[in-house]
Amino acid sequence: MIGVFDSGIGGLTVVRALRRHLPDYDIIYFGDTARTPYGTKSPETVVRYAVEDAETLLQKGARMLVVACNTASSTATGALRERFDVPIFDVISPAVTMAVSDPKRTRVGVIGTRATVNSRIYEDKIKAIRPDMKVYGQPCPLLVPLVEEGWLKKGETRKIVKKYLHPLKLKQIEILILGCTHYPLLKDIIQVKIGKRVKIIDSSETMADSVKDFLHHNPNVDGRLNKNGACRFCVSDVTEQFQKIAETILKTAVTLEHIKL
Ligand code: DGL
């Protein structure tokens, strides 16, 4: 199984993309809904939670891990790779690879939680490859609760998105990285507010692409993964709201399994 985890529901956008790119592969998802959000927590706490999330998935039979949370990816990937001897994908590297691949664009905006933007991980990784690029981070802390409330098309959400993107518009960015797993659900509004000439990088799509590519080139790992198209959804707290949003994201009925951490 491919194990995928997130602080809560946002990582389901990565599951959705994985199912599009790799429909036969069995997936087990863990959403830490009892302890979400991670984006407001200290790095030490996020690392501790991420290690527990990974252990949970490995105990249930995951053979590789996808960290479908920008906050956990930016803070805990190193600690996870030190502890666990399975392939581990962070959601940041594929988005960086895509951002640096366009030689004509040099001005990049990154939106995410405070923890992700404060970590400066996108900036560090981009500049290590393309020192000519300018990277501007913008935390958007209100967007996660708005998505979790299902306010995907409300006027209030549009106004808040516009306000958050204003400083990036002034910087005349040419690329915008959606550095939070919830934001692909607001992609249309974000594209309208930032302008259609700005190229948006959706980390859920780039992540799925890079997992597919990895499996293609690593048949030894690929051979260990079951391919029955099955998907299990585990959470640390079962709520009606999670159920509702999960079904909106995946466009199918979802059965939640409760896991006590
Ligand atoms: N999943 C988190 C991320 O991608 C957003 C929600 C949270 O703060 O936990 O950064």
pLDDT in tens, 18-35: 999 999 999 999 999 999
Averaged pLDDT, 3-21: 95
Nearby residues of 218 by Cβ (< 8 Å), 6 or more positions away: 87
Tell whether 64 and 139 lie within a shared domain.
no
DSSP 142-206: THHHHHHTT-SS-HHHHHHHHHHHHHHHHTT-SEEEEESTTGGGGHHHHHHHH-TTSEEEEHHHH
Q: Which atom of ligand 1 is nearest to the CA of 116?
A: 10
**What pLDDT, on a 0 to 100 scale, did the predictor assign at position 205?**
87
**What pLDDT, on a 0 to 100 scale, did the predictor assign at position 204?**
87
State the residue range of the domain holding 197. 93-203
**Is 140 an annotated catalytic residue?**
no
CATH number of 37's domain = 3.40.50.1860
Tell whether 84 and 97 lie within a shared domain.
no
Q: Considering its fold, how many domains does the chain have in total?
A: 2
Helix or strand run (H / E) with residue 3: strand 2-6
Residue 46 near ligand 1, beta carbon < 6 Å: no
Q: What percentage of residues in the chain have a pLDDT greater than 90?
A: 90
Q: What is the spatial distance between Cα 150 and Cα 227, in angstroms, rounded to a whole number?
A: 32
**What pLDDT, on a 0 to 100 scale, did the predictor assign at position 6?**
97
pLDDT in tens, 119-162: 999 999 999 999 999 999 999 999 999 998 889 999 999 999 99
Q: What is the spatial distance between Cα 18 and Cα 211, in angstroms, rounded to a whole number?
A: 8
Residue 74 near ligand 1, beta carbon < 6 Å: no
Tell whether 185 and 100 lie within a shared domain.
yes
